[in-house]
Structure 1
């Protein structure tokens, strides 16, 4: 009996102990839950403090777009979004609205901005799939993110998105929310809003979309580029079938409608060729110019440009082929600018691949031009009475601590201006700038369009001061026009959405100097191509130009012109590391000749004076004759060890 009582007491103690433990667990759970709740509440309140400012600064307006066309009307690129008409949800066909709801938010008209059932369903589907295949965000949440927030993935952004969705549901009706969503969401191919998408993909307004077209457009929202019929019709069709099945599952259409065969618009998928997107260097440059002409862009506009897109892609391929064939020469970058004599840009290639580097080496780079700067010195000398036959010494010279040299220390002794220029001799150029003074040379360069700071020193003779390829091209064009300089332009006309002209290029020009002195200089520059350092730039027509190589092969230039075109070719490395023996008379001159040959084939498209008779019969596909690096030995600007550090920083 005593034992039984003892066992009962022990069992009673165990039950009490177990009860205490259970109570402790419950107490801890409740306490922890309360702390989590209060912490979450405080965190939500903390993040909510920014909402008044966010909603006040919301952009409810349409995104504006700027479409750039080349000189033949081809679309180059588009910045911003292509907008169609604003459409209300009740203006659309029911199946168009149902296609969207079936794929994006079936319970849209039943929740209050947040859908717990949808979130739970997405969690189950994602757990079963082992990856994220379905989202739990409602259309209201997506609109809140589109209107107010960035695409940053963070707890703060998600909490604010949830609070803003609740605010939208309180302030607006369901139809107003859905209308706003349909007019702002991105559907690919630059189309923002369902009406723009309908016009891009089907050339009709959104109010006229049929069932299959509506399903295709709704299916784009998951991945606009991947499911675009322009990029991959087979994936687009498969995605459309998924949407139709979802519509049948939601009860919007019959099963036989979802399973019916349909055809997509004829947009065959063509595997794209290698695209370096170099035309974006040109349009980026213009994006900074457009507001200067028309002010703030507040509507969709079209910019008609001077670029020849087909020629741009041809020259882009030429340049990258040459770089690929000379990887052993350590040429990291190259750039090309091609204009006609009116200053219109036909091609601007600011680097070998825009996707890798958006730095425009034509407009933004500051590089030493080497001997390509010498025309400014010789033009200054002609203005002061020198002539091509004027004698000048080619022998070692020292000006202060500056002791420039010719390549291999080879000197001609007594020579003349013509020979010194054509052979790009260094010491005569230094003697000449000392005679005419650096200040006067700087004045000449500035009058020809050089706006970069130039140092008044003897080293200026060999291009020691940095300049941009854009301003060098302008200066050479003024030389080719015998003193008449045209502003380098890329815009022909800017049109509003209703095709009203907002701006029209007038082609302003300015003149500097006597044309006779330019004729003397042009004759010397023709000699450079015919019998000097630029022989690799020879063409079947008369051409003039100048090579330029900075110290230790850090920069290599060829700039030249024909009767119709001016082109600059630059090669080098962004970090100014030396190339391996690349002079202006080697790869740049060869590429320049290819550029000009390709350009002259398209000459009848560019509104210039006709090419001389017999040109096409004489035109050749490959370059004729020319030297490799021969004849360029004195083109490389050199100086003493004492000065080299200064000129190459």
Structure 2
């Protein structure tokens, strides 16, 4: 082999080569082997040929990459930017078309959910219950307060202009939708980076108030716009403005300018000033937040903005605007602002019985005196504010009515906003000693008299031992003294003597409707009653013995004057004989002269009444009356917890006196009904002179200092009477 290689090199002989390198060398093409241009390419590409697997022992030379042909340059006049702009325009047009299609679809969908345009009518207002006092003034409203419709021509010209100036300056130029106003609002909102202006026209606001809800959605806005266009086609601008002013919401339940003017300024919309008109127009933006009775500062500031807009629109002069800004309008406080709502609730409870279901707005005329309602409210609130902590008393109530049962004032609690529970009508409490007049009236009807003597001494009834408040005992006392000093043992003895069942019958006859238990403790007022029925049951004492039905509604009519109900004059029954009523008046007068209600006094007037304190000082009462008014006061706690020794002769008497003195100012003095014939009701001096026992108490004025007496000068006062009462109650019949 070595010799052969040597020969090859010297002789130039070519040796055959094997392997991939040799094969690649043989495959090199000459120029004549290349495919001429234009001829068909081979059917199979080189990329699809099966590669030759090299032997592992052969050396494979690295193949150099073939250079790529340069990309052709774009033709002159065309650029990438031109192509991009074209594509942007194309897609913008496509998106725009789809957007228009989507918008049209949404509009069609929103319109499809509206009632047919031809069936749209201005809806009726929801029924409103307007409650007025006996003087015609508005006390309260129930439902959505809507004042009477007022024609545009009847309003002062600056009132509608105030709304146009602040809400829709281009009202008379647009067609229901204001594109310029919308654009202006958009610009303002963008600049302020929030919602600072709205683009709704007065017509759109009217459409929303009449037909739509208050939700803020795109569908609702589209419906609002469609309805605004319909309103503009159907009604004139003046009609739309008039509808708007009579339907827009002003807060505090007031719909329409008339209701709002009455609510906030106590006058008709026909009489509002420029400043008041500006304040009303300013409320539309946020009626709950800007109501002048809740936020006077905010309402005044908003009114200044409206006045400036009116001056800018040349509706008023700059001087007028500045004058009104210097003297802002103030909302009036309605009489009995809060507590009169207890009256309104009571009326709502009886309304269905009087007129049935309310389907249209009505006016309920009542017996309430707004001035007395305010006095009663102040008396309760001020007394509790001053002494509620000291005596642990949290609530109070007051009812005042005429001797024929017409309620003049009612306070069901110290704060209606905190508690709507009516303690004057709904609550039932133990009246305590305020129930005793029914016991003594029963005794008088069975033949006893104010000077009849009964024993005031400890009493034991099968383990029950009633005691006097002071735990003092005065021996033989007259019924007048016993009632004036509220002696419990005497009341129990008399109650057992006349019979608890007869006492219950007497109370029911006079007007108590609650269930009463005929037991020995009935004389001490242990059965619960409501204040309204207790005060009503005292009324016969003040009117000569005639029955009364406490009432507050006199007439009910529609807004157009149609009469729905009128209280008919009743023929009262004689529930107390005049002679007996006169004796009871004489006895209860002494309670205010020398008894437990000595602080109760009305200058120039004869008054009578009775205090009451329930067990553990849980309730404090005073029911007092003149020939003009019968008034009851209660103080206590809703949870029936004991007070800190609050008695009927304390806080209730103070409230009663404050109220009654104000209520009797300027009223001609009248006396309580008296018995016919002189000498029928003896004086206390005469009563005292008839008691022959040397230790008998002096007249009621000094009875508290008297010592217990064991005298049996009168058979009724004998010590054996206790045994007789026990035998009657728990033994056989007598």
**TM-score, normalization by structure 1:** 0.70
Question: Which residue number in structure 2 is paired with residue 30 of structure 1?
Answer: none
Question: Which residue number in structure 1 is paired with residue 404 of structure 2?
Answer: 342
Equivalent runs, 1:401-416 vs 2, <5 Å: 402-416=464-478
Q: Aligned with 1:557: secondary structure?
A: strand
Question: Residue 83 in 1 paired to residue 141 in 2?
Answer: no
In structure 2, do the counterparts of structure 1 residues 112 and 82 end up closer, same or farther at CA, with 3 Å as the change threshold? Answer: closer
Give me the whole-angstrom Cα distance separating, in 1, the residues matched to 2:327 and 2:132.
22
In structure 2, do the counterparts of structure 1 residues 260 and 118 end up closer, same or farther at CA, with 3 Å as the change threshold? Answer: closer
Question: Residue 281 in 1 paired to residue 342 in 2?
Answer: yes
Question: Which residue number in structure 2 is paired with residue 603 of structure 1?
Answer: 667
In structure 2, do the counterparts of structure 1 residues 495 and 236 end up closer, same or farther at CA, with 3 Å as the change threshold? Answer: farther
Kindly indicate whether the alpha-carbon contact (under 8 Å) linking 1:572 and 1:579 is maintained by their aligned counterparts in 2. yes
Give me the whole-angstrom Cα distance separating, in 2, the residues matched to 1:317 and 1:203.
24
Equivalent runs, 1:418-429 vs 2, <5 Å: 418-429=480-491
Shift of 1:475: 0.3
In structure 2, do the counterparts of structure 1 residues 235 and 601 end up closer, same or farther at CA, with 3 Å as the change threshold? Answer: same
Bigger Rg, structure 1 or 2: 2
Shift of 1:448: 0.9
Give me the whole-angstrom Cα distance separating, in 1, the residues matched to 2:624 and 2:158.
64
Give me the whole-angstrom Cα distance separating, in 1, the residues matched to 2:559 and 2:582.
47
Does 258-267 or 543-552 show the bigger shift? 258-267
Q: Aligned with 1:407: secondary structure?
A: coil
In structure 2, do the counterparts of structure 1 residues 573 and 242 end up closer, same or farther at CA, with 3 Å as the change threshold? Answer: same
Question: Residue 324 in 1 paired to residue 385 in 2?
Answer: yes
Shift of 1:584: 0.2
Deviations 1:542-595 (A, max 9, x none): 221111011121110000112222111111112222221110011211222222
Give me the whole-angstrom Cα distance separating, in 2, the residues matched to 1:203 and 1:516.
51
In structure 2, do the counterparts of structure 1 residues 429 and 242 end up closer, same or farther at CA, with 3 Å as the change threshold? Answer: same
Question: Residue 571 in 1 paired to residue 635 in 2?
Answer: yes
> Which blocks of at least 5 consecutive residues in structure 2 are unaligned?
1-62, 69-101, 674-699, 706-734
Shift of 1:492: 3.9
Give me the whole-angstrom Cα distance separating, in 1, the residues matched to 2:230 and 2:594.
79
Question: Which residue number in structure 1 is paired with residue 320 of structure 2?
Answer: 262
Shift of 1:419: 2.9
Does 577-586 or 291-300 show the bigger shift? 291-300
Question: Which residue number in structure 1 is paired with residue 375 of structure 2?
Answer: 314
Kindly indicate whether the alpha-carbon contact (under 8 Å) linking 2:363 and 2:556 is maintained by their aligned counterparts in 1. yes
Equivalent runs, 1:144-159 vs 2, <5 Å: 146-147=209-210, 158=217
Q: Aligned with 2:609: secondary structure?
A: strand
Does 129-138 or 325-334 show the bigger shift? 129-138
Alpha-carbon RMSD = 5.2
Kindly indicate whether the alpha-carbon contact (under 8 Å) linking 1:311 and 1:347 is maintained by their aligned counterparts in 2. yes
Give me the whole-angstrom Cα distance separating, in 2, the residues matched to 1:336 and 1:95.
42
Question: Which residue number in structure 1 is paired with residue 597 of structure 2?
Answer: 534
Question: Which residue number in structure 1 is paired with residue 454 of structure 2?
Answer: 392
Shift of 1:369: 0.6
In structure 2, do the counterparts of structure 1 residues 63 and 395 end up closer, same or farther at CA, with 3 Å as the change threshold? Answer: same
Give me the whole-angstrom Cα distance separating, in 2, the residues matched to 1:490 and 1:219.
37
Does 123-132 or 406-415 show the bigger shift? 123-132
Shift of 1:474: 0.4
In structure 2, do the counterparts of structure 1 residues 117 and 427 end up closer, same or farther at CA, with 3 Å as the change threshold? Answer: farther
Question: Which residue number in structure 2 is paired with residue 11 of structure 1?
Answer: none
Give me the whole-angstrom Cα distance separating, in 2, the residues matched to 1:260 and 1:133.
25
> Which blocks of at least 5 consecutive residues in structure 1 are unaligned?
7-37, 613-625, 632-649
Give me the whole-angstrom Cα distance separating, in 2, the residues matched to 1:304 and 1:92.
29
Give me the whole-angstrom Cα distance separating, in 2, the residues matched to 1:493 and 1:455.
37
Greater relative CO, 1 or 2 (CA 8 Å, sep 6+): 1
Shift of 1:236: 6.1
Kindly indicate whether the alpha-carbon contact (under 8 Å) linking 1:276 and 1:355 is maintained by their aligned counterparts in 2. no
Q: Aligned with 1:472: secondary structure?
A: helix
Deviations 1:104-127 (A, max 9, x none): 5979998999x9998897677567
Q: Aligned with 1:536: secondary structure?
A: coil
Kindly indicate whether the alpha-carbon contact (under 8 Å) linking 2:423 and 2:531 is maintained by their aligned counterparts in 1. yes
Give me the whole-angstrom Cα distance separating, in 1, the residues matched to 2:120 and 2:528.
44
**TM-score, normalization by structure 2:** 0.63
Question: Which residue number in structure 1 is paired with residue 580 of structure 2?
Answer: 517
